[in-house]
Structure 1
Amino acid sequence: MNSQWRGENQVQLLINGEGYYPPAFEAIRQAREEVLLETFIIYEDKVGLELRQVLIDAARRGVRVQVLVDGYGSAELSRDYLQALFDAGVELQAFDPSPMRLGVRTNLFRRLHRKILVIDGSLGFVGGINYSADHLDDFGPLAKQDYAVQVRGPIVEDLRQATLALLDRHTRLARRHRPWWHRAAVADADSEQATMRLCIRDNHQHPSDIEQQYLRAIVSAHERIVIANAYFFPGYRLLRALRNAARRGVEVTLILQGMPDMPWVRLCSRLLYNYLLRDGVRIHEYCERPLHGKVALVDREWSTVGSSNLDPLSLSLNLEANLVIRDAAFNQRLYEHLDELRQTRCKRVTLQRILRGYWWRAPLIFLTFHFTRYFPALVGTLPAHKPRLKPLYPIDPGTQERLS
């Protein structure tokens, strides 16, 4: 489901693990009725272990805790990790799990890439941050730059229903009344009157909803567009919309990876630079550490924060969730942060620099662009399967079978 526009929401921008994990874990500690959590990755490091403990504590005091992880991104959770959750009563499921073949995970496509946390139907978190220590500064040079938002208001019920729909339990769980003790404002909220819409991408009824939101905002832009995205290789419609916006005088700024966690990411993005730079799009590479964010703003009201990259996997195959936010105060807060990032931690990419050696890159650009353009259709020709949810129980080392 994709929600309608919901008014009177409170929203706070959360930057990196330092901004996200403390309020998220504290919210779980304060939960009284229900914790719903979706994520792509949980690692068994200090972040994953703390997450496990707050989930266990919540379940033991009678809170219903349901966790949905991706079967590819979280495939290596140990028996001990799962056992502790199972013993406490946490309901844990994996999205489209698959056994390794020759030690390699082969279930790469159509992943659950959403990151949603809902507490008692009254407090929500959405963004791109997984539960792993590589989102913290003390991880070192490869710590990721990333974003999420904390929200209260009518939009939270849309987050809750989206998760329950994926769990296939939404028809059996009634909407809960939010008790008075959960109506407090978000501390230091960037806005308390934001209008929001939850946009999801799936492979059934909503295959292009997030992309359409981007396109509508870009086409209507008249002043500024700022996109900070980790994996930037969108389809032709988005590229053309950005180029046309720059041609009509909109200040279009892209903040992309200059120190990628996967080297091929930078190569793919750079294949598009000439196409965009020659029409006035400004491109900056963030070089301090890997950029993992998926945020954007248009003019002085429209913003989005979520899990969707602008690449073929996110736009055409994965399950994604973005919040689209209409609010001037939040837009300005995000703009000030991204502009500071651009000025102090990025390198400007120039057309002169890109054109060096362009002759040998031109055929590669043509082939790569058209391959990624038709990539989702090519993947669709693979043997069809229906992604499924499977209860994730500890593995008995004696039988190598799931405990039940």
Structure 2
Amino acid sequence: MSDNNDSTTDTPTRRDALKYGGTLATGVAFAGCSDLAGQNEGTDDPSGDGSYSVTMAPMGEVEFDSPPESIFTRLTHHAGMAFALGRGNDVNAMHAPDYYDQLWNQFTERLPGITLDWSGLYSSWDPDKEELYDLDSDVHLADPASVNALDSWSTSDIDEIGGTVGPWFGNKFSDRHGEPPAEWADRYEYYTLWEMFEKVAAVFREEARYEALAEVHTNLLETIEADLPPEENRPTVVMAGMSDIESMYVYTLDTPGFLLAHVRPLGPIGTLGDDISSGDTIDMEGLLEADPDVLFSLGGMSPGTDMSNIRDDLENHAVGRELSAVQTDRVYAQGARYQGPILNLFQLEMSAKQLYPDVFGEWPTYADGPYPEIPDDEQLFDRQAVADIINGDFA
């Protein structure tokens, strides 16, 4: 984008309630958001009145005078955080909104009284700067470094939007610990999904909601960890995009970052060769060489995907039918990689059942549609409790 667009660069600051902390600030990213909120000249006002600041790489310290209302997002882990905080319908932009609206609603179907509508929002994968002025968002829950990596955005564009519209607050390269653009490298840090969620919750002064959901998450992890089989009894796994079984992109299980936040705690054994990296493609012969006990189909719960067709294609393939996972009916759907905290809960439960049905209960055969109904006594977390937290109805 041009840096000399008179229609935007001369626009006065229009955001009195939100103050941008500076994209170029290096700021230390502290461990807990309780150390981050209310740090402006000693101000600490839990009611939400008065200024406060939150620090996260790569932005540094970002100052707010009140919790943001309208929310721009780019990737769905940030939109999912807004949703978890009861602010899902305040999101005004995201990547592929109609697609992700349908995908997220595959899961919200199982949360009593929860509704979500992202259909028709502005699609923000490569956002237009003029559109960001039109949206006039109180906060941009997006990583300025990842936006700066787009050919259409310069550092001055990033600073302009952050200073005249609303601050940037997001982190993308924690997804698999990728390299940010060189000009951001010295201020970048990586976070887990829930560490990032804690900081986003502090932006909205929703620490109590975060703590309540974090307790659900901790209890779920403890349930899983208490009953995990020893490593020698765990299945081998390949995660692959199965839309084209002749050329499948794969993710290795040792990939760092939050894209595997729903699988890593379960400790399955990766079986791809050392010469394969996440994002590489393999053919059916390569998959047979790995021959996993369990085959995870990335995007298998996406709208328009029919897992029955994927299983049929594998069974009818001269090489695919030789796969152990195909012969034992252990080809399973996965949901979203940029999952956010609520989908993380569902996908932890889903993956636990897929990997260890004898321990955590059988995963129902899934073809398409919403997340399957799980009997109450086989659920690994309380749906009503999560719905109450999203709705703000909790002690």
Please, what TM-score do these two structures have when normalized by structure 1? 0.28
Query: Relative contact order (C-alpha < 8 Å, sep 6+): which is higher?
Result: 1
